[in-house]
C-alpha cells in the first residue's frame, strides 16, 4: 500500500471554546426566538424551510416566508394564517437568485413589521455538475446556493445592523461543503463557499462596534423531507431525522450561541462527523491525496482511524 502517513489527531476530549455570554437563557425569554419578533425564511415552501416556518410561528414569531414555488408557498401561508392569524404571516414568492425580487422581499418585510430577528437563508437547489461537465447546472447552483445567499445578505444585513434588538442570520450549509464527498462537485463547491462566506460574515459582524447581529452556519444531517416533497406516501428511513427534529436542534444551538451548528441524525452521531472532518483536514496537513477517504490506497486506513477514534471517545 505504500507510505500512508499517520492518522490525524483525534477530537480533543475537552474542546477549547468560550461559551456565549447569552447562554444559558430560558428559551421563553430568549431575545431572538421570542414572541412578537420577526423571522424571514427563504426556501420556505418545503423541507427544512417549511418546518422552520411552522416552528417559529408556533413560538409566536411573525413569519415572512419566501420561495420560488409560489403554489406551495401559498399553501403554507394559508395553513399558517389559519392557525396564527393573517397579521402574523407574510408570503412573498421570491427567486433569491434575482436581486430585484430579494429587494422586494426586504421592502415588504420592513414595511409590514420594521425589523428582522431571525434571517434563515435556506433556499438551495441540488442539480448536478462534475468538475468538467454540466456548466449550465454549475451556473444554476451557484446563482441560487451562493449568490442567493449573497443577495439576501447584501439586502437585509445593512438594515439589521441598525436594529436595537439582537438578531441572528442563519445560513444553511451542508456537510458536503466540508468533507467534499465525490459525486456532485458543483453542489459541494457551492456549500463550501457558503461556509467560507458565513465565517467571514460572522467575523465582520463581531468586529463592527455596536452591532447586535450574529451569524451562524447551519449544517443539517440526513433530513427526511418526503412528507413535504413530491413523494408524500413514502416512509421515513430509520436513519434520517425529520425536518422538524433538525429545526428544533438548530434553534437550540442558536439559543446557545453556537456558530457551527453540526446536526446529527439517527445514523451519524456527532463524533462520527467530527472524525470525518478531521480526516479531511489531515489530507492537507499530512500531504495525502485529495479526498483520501475515498482513495483505494487509504480506504482501509480511514476505516481503522474511525474505529480507533470512536473507541477512544466511547
- 298 counts as catalytic: no
Task: State the catalytic residue, choosing from 84, 110, 187, 260.
Answer: 187
Q: Is the backbone peptide bond immediately before 24 cis, with ω within 30 degrees of 0? A: yes
Count how many residues are written for the chain. Answer: 314
Quick one: cell of 121? 437563508
Distance CA 256, CA 250 (A): 10
Phi, psi of 93 (to 5 degrees): -55, 125
Longest Cα–Cα distance of the chain, Å, equals 67
Considering Cα of 203, then 117, then 259, then 247, what sign does the dihedral take? Answer: negative
DSSP-assigned beta bridge partners for residue 238: none
C-alpha cell at 267: 445514523
The span from the CA of 180 to the CA of 268, in Å, is 16
Which residues are designated catalytic? 187
Amino acid at each position: 500500500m505504500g507510505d500512508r502517513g499517520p492518522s490525524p489527531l483525534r477530537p480533543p476530549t475537552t474542546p477549547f471554546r468560550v461559551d456565549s455570554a447569552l447562554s444559558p437563557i430560558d428559551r421563553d425569554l430568549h431575545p431572538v426566538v421570542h414572541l412578537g419578533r420577526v423571522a424571514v425564511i427563504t426556501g420556505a415552501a418545503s423541507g427544512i424551510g417549511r418546518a422552520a416556518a411552522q416552528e417559529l410561528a408556533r413560538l409566536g414569531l411573525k413569519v415572512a416566508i419566501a420561495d420560488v414555488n409560489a403554489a406551495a408557498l401559498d399553501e403554507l401561508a394559508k395553513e399558517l394564517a389559519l392557525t396564527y392569524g393573517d397579521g402574523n404571516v407574510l408570503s412573498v414568492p421570491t427567486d433569491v437568485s434575482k436581486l430585484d425580487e430579494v429587494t422586494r422581499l426586504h421592502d415588504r418585510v420592513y414595511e409590514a413589521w420594521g425589523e428582522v430577528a431571525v434571517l434563515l437563508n435556506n433556499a438551495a437547489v441540488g442539480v448536478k455538475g462534475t468538475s468538467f461537465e454540466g456548466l449550465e447546472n454549475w451556473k444554476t447552483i451557484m446563482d441560487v446556493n451562493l449568490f442567493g445567499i449573497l443577495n439576501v445578505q447584501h439586502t437585509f444585513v445593512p438594515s439589521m445592523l441598525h436594529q436595537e434588538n439582537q438578531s441572528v442570520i442563519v445560513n444553511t450549509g451542508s456537510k458536503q461543503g466540508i468533507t467534499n464527498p465525490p459525486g456532485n462537485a458543483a453542489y459541494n463547491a457551492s456549500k463550501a463557499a457558503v461556509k467560507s462566506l458565513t465565517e467571514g460574515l460572522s467575523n465582520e459582524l463581531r468586529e463592527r462596534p455596536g452591532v447586535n447581529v450574529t451569524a451562524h452556519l447551519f449544517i443539517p444531517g440526513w433530513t427526511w423531507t418526503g412528507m413535504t416533497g413530491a413523494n408524500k406516501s413514502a416512509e421515513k428511513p430509520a436513519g434520517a431525522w425529520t425536518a422538524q427534529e433538525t429545526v428544533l436542534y438548530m434553534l437550540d444551538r442558536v439559543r446557545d450561541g453556537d456558530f457551527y451548528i453540526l446536526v446529527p441524525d439517527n445514523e451519524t452521531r456527532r463524533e462520527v462527523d467530527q472524525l470525518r472532518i478531521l480526516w479531511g483536514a489531515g489530507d492537507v496537513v499530512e500531504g495525502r491525496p485529495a479526498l483520501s477517504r475515498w482513495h483505494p490506497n487509504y480506504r482501509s486506513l480511514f476505516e481503522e482511524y474511525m474505529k480507533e477514534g470512536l473507541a477512544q471517545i466511547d
